[in-house]
Amino acid sequence: MMIDSKLPRVGTTIFTRMSALASEHKALNLSQGFPDFDAPQALLEAMARHVMNGHNQYAPMAGLPALREQIAAQLLRYRGVSCDPDSEITVVPGATEGIYCAITACVRSGDEVIVLDPCYDSYEPAIALAGGRAIHVPLTAHNFGVDWQRVAAAVTSRTRLIVVNSPHNPSGAALSSDDMRQLEALAERHNLLVVSDEVYEHLIYDGRQHHSALQFPALRQRSFALFSFGKTFSVTGWKTGYCVAPPALTAELRKVHQFVCFVAVTPVQLAVADFMAAEPGYAGTLAAFYQRKRDLFCDALAGSRFRVAPSAGTYFQLLDYSAITPVADQQLATDWTREHGIASIPVSVFYDEPPDQHYLRFCFAKSDEVLLQAAERLCEI
């Protein structure tokens, strides 16, 4: 039977393909973004405790009250933002599901949604499935900044929503407070909604501050802000995050969420709530932890032929290989996995129309030993 696909351009994600290739060739896997070290022991013990104590049935659709209260406390602690746990915070089974639900709740057939390239690969499929059209605006070359004049020029009468991501995957760039003010003015002027992907909020370096959409009054009233416990607590396989939005937007998001996954996993929610209550300052330790890993990896590449501009945030580092070879990044990522035993992600896959750039993305959420081994192999290329 022939199927007229709703996503004809979509296949298996690059992350799945590169991790499978790394496994096949026993390569160091710096491609997919997951830590190779354990989460905090107290968090793991809390998870085991709640599973063994029988807390394994459905949680409330919006998330367990205890966890939503802890989220509200963390937002006040780290962002200076007050949120109502009942009407503004929804626990979701992963930020990707939350982004999908936000887009589905707001985008109708014929609507346009602005995305900034290179952009995470889940955005456009969600837009397409909602009947919308993604309008790709490229970030500036090399420093991956936002050209707000170009973004403004992309706004039409059909524009419904803009998606932003900071700290930014795959580039590691971070939006400044001035960027957020320009986004705020643009959204207010054109009555746009905003999806703000902030899953790497605590992974920001060199004294920079994360600027959340929730901290800007006009954005606060028109934004879905998405966050990830998987990134913060090194438990990406637990697939649990949360969405913060004003009550009217939260109500619309929950209408979709309840028919996509209905609830996030109960013992995960209980474990995270316990850990946040016991260790409220844990998230504040992550910037120093990951900056040390970034610096270890970058310093070990000092003798290589790569151009290295240290990442401003996330746990990803781009390497510019233009001085080494003109080979296209998708082919090169495959070749180097097979030939040199190190897997990465080609940055061109995050673009609608890839520019003439030569970048590979490497994840530094790995043990020091793996990072040093990876750098040694890269220096030999």
**For residues 179 and 139, is the Cβ–Cβ distance under 8 A?**
no
Name the DSSP class of 262.
S
Of 295, 242, 302, 250, which Cα lies nearest the Cα of 272? 242
* CA dist., res. 294 & res. 300, Å (int): 10
Q: According to the model, what pLDDT value does residue 120 have? A: 94
Q: According to the model, what pLDDT value does residue 271 have? A: 98
Taking residues 200-211, report their average pLDDT: 98
Q: pLDDT tens, 32-78? A: 999 999 999 999 999 999 999 999 999 999 999 999 999 999 999 99
Please state which CATH class domain 14-39+284-379 belongs to.
Answer: alpha beta
Residue 3 has pLDDT above 90, yes or no: no
**Continuous H helices in 177-304:** 177-190, 217-220, 229-233, 247-260, 266-278, 286-300
- Token reading at 163: 């998606």
**For residue 371, what pLDDT band results from cuts at 50, 70 and 90?**
very high
Mean pLDDT in the chain? 97
Q: pLDDT tens, 352-366? A: 999 999 999 999 999
- Token reading at 262: 């209905």
CATH of 57-282, one of 3.90.230.10, 3.40.640.10, 3.40.50.300, 3.80.30.20: 3.40.640.10
- Token reading at 187: 């959204």
Q: Same fold for the domain at 14-39+284-379 and the one at 57-282?
A: no
Domain residue limits, the chain: 14-39+284-379, 57-282
Of 25, 21, 34, 127, which Cα lies nearest the Cα of 314? 34
- Token reading at 277: 């209550």
β-pairing, 89-92 vs 241-244, is antiparallel
